[in-house]
Chains A and B, each alone.
Chain A
């Protein structure tokens, strides 16, 4: 326990800013999760591993001398096809089934991806150096790497593009119709199989963008996927499906919570704190819902 964060207000400011910039990234991943959950009714445990895979794409571009920021464009393109391939191979068989089947099947995919990435890229913690320098605020009391600001900016840009695409384009309309009622959409001539594949591809592409940004700002490691899945799940259940401002806000809230947990409890308890928060949120939600049920009686 370390309460220095409350004695020096500038550390709090630093933690808040770090948390918000981090939270925007989480919100991007969570938006993908909300999309597939809403449309296909599956929970994808491999979400975090798709993020890490996107990160490795950017990292490899960095290794071969291309600036990793281009990964923001390359990674989603590659990841879109990975997502569609994954859908054709596995996910299309779990769409109509019980949610637990999808959880377990994607858990298997997650383990598979983890180990394949471990073979392919090694078990080192890596980072793609963007060389963007840092910004100093308040007489150098608050230090913000420019890469974090860049990544938050790009995430917002992608989120806006996606929202506009979902509202305006034909495919976006088909996706929203399928989410509302897949049978009715099928009757009205929407090829739901294609819509599902596209949805999963878009989700994977979003993960790719987020992963590329994470490889620039933070670090990536083959086994770091599961926390990202849990974070996005948490954000989605706090915000609810299809509530984009809510997703953004709760993402930022989670980011700030994590930064403070990091300062107060110590870095070794950071992931533990995230998972405990998930348990607490679910339990809180359960008591809230059960109260509502009694009220209705």
Chain B
């Protein structure tokens, strides 16, 4: 146990000091935090509950639009802001910016949670691949529809309020890094806490055999909806932060980007190992490093690489890094291994 505390403390210290050690990578580190949040929340559905969703992007995009809209709408007319394409007609004072951001993030987290609760009963009743395709449709539909709504910028996009003139570019990077790191810590603590309760066991029971779980007297629908609402909360929060970080929201390319972010979160969780606590964190980190390397050196071919990567990971590496480690070093995971049995297995291979 004490080893774990040292590990967590080390990560926390590293997380806080990272933007000062690597000042050039502040934005990348913030994006990494957001990606880890998304992978962790996807894992609640895909890994623990067995409901493979493509639809968490819905909450992410919703949070992004809501945060920016609230931030602008609190002080200026929203329609005129988007009409002018974010030109410097209106300027937020620093106080306005931070107030708007704070309220915006709360709204961005709470509203998707409510949405998840409302649609949960209808959507989560679907099983297996019907659920996967339905959530895929939901994400794309949200992107297409938000791309037609005039007040949030329609096809030309929505420029989020620029960071106020306090400390320049450095301060902007540090502010958003801090925000995303706090979101990451919050998510991790929450996820870790719920994974040590009965709630996780119920989710696993749903994954392993939902009908049996129901027959055992578990109200599966209730727990599925609660699980989805927890995901939606943090997805919305992550979306709100990402919107401010990117500075520009487009309906299909940034917010409801099923082709990028929607697949990334699935891929990261599977790469790290679904159904584990640390899997999504490791998967997201490895994926982000790989992605940035590829995006930088082979610009233009990134989607080709992404497509190949998806196929390779899904077919040849479905158990992920954690699953592979678990098979290799079962003792580290607290599993008792019979030596003779193991030798026999090695000989068989």
Contact = CB atoms under 8 A, between A and B. Distances in A.
Given A105-B315, A230-B137, A111 B259 contact: yes
B126 A282 contact: yes
A107 B52 CA distance: 14
Interface stretch (A122-130, A160-168, A264-272): A264-272
* Chief secondary structure at chain A's binding surface: helix
Interface string A278-293: 1100110111001000
Interface stretch (A57-65, A95-103, A134-142, A211-219): A95-103
A115 interface: yes
A115 B140 CA distance: 18
Given A111-B307, A112-B303, A275 B141 contact: yes
Contacts of A100: 52, 128-129, 132
A115 B126 contact: no
Contacts of B306: 108, 111-112
Most B CB contacts (10 A, CB to CB) among A114, A119, A237, A271 go to: A271
B115 interface: no
A111 B303 contact: yes
Contacts of B147: 268, 272
Nearest to B122: A283
A10 interface: no
B59 to A, nearest CB: 15
Contacts of B299: none
B138 interface: yes
A275 B303 contact: no
Contacts of A283: 122-123, 125-126, 134
B117 to A, nearest CB: 15
A107 B263 contact: yes
Most B CB contacts (10 A, CB to CB) among A100, A268, A271 go to: A100
26 contacts: A43-B133, A94-B314, A100-B132, A101-B315, A103-B133, A104-B270, A105-B310, A107-B310, A108-B309, A109-B311, A111-B303, A111-B310, A112-B311, A114-B303, A268-B148, A271-B140, A272-B147, A276-B137, A278-B134, A278-B141, A279-B134, A279-B137, A279-B141, A282-B137, A283-B134, A286-B130
Given A103-B129, A272-B148, A278-B137, 16 more contacts: A94-B315, A99-B129, A101-B318, A104-B52, A104-B314, A108-B309, A111-B259, A112-B307, A230-B133, A268-B154, A275-B138, A278-B133, A279-B123, A279-B141, A282-B126, A282-B133
Interface of B: 52, 122-123, 125-126, 128-130, 132-134, 136-138, 140-141, 144-145, 147-148, 154-155, 259, 263, 266, 270, 300-301, 303-304, 306-311, 314-315, 318
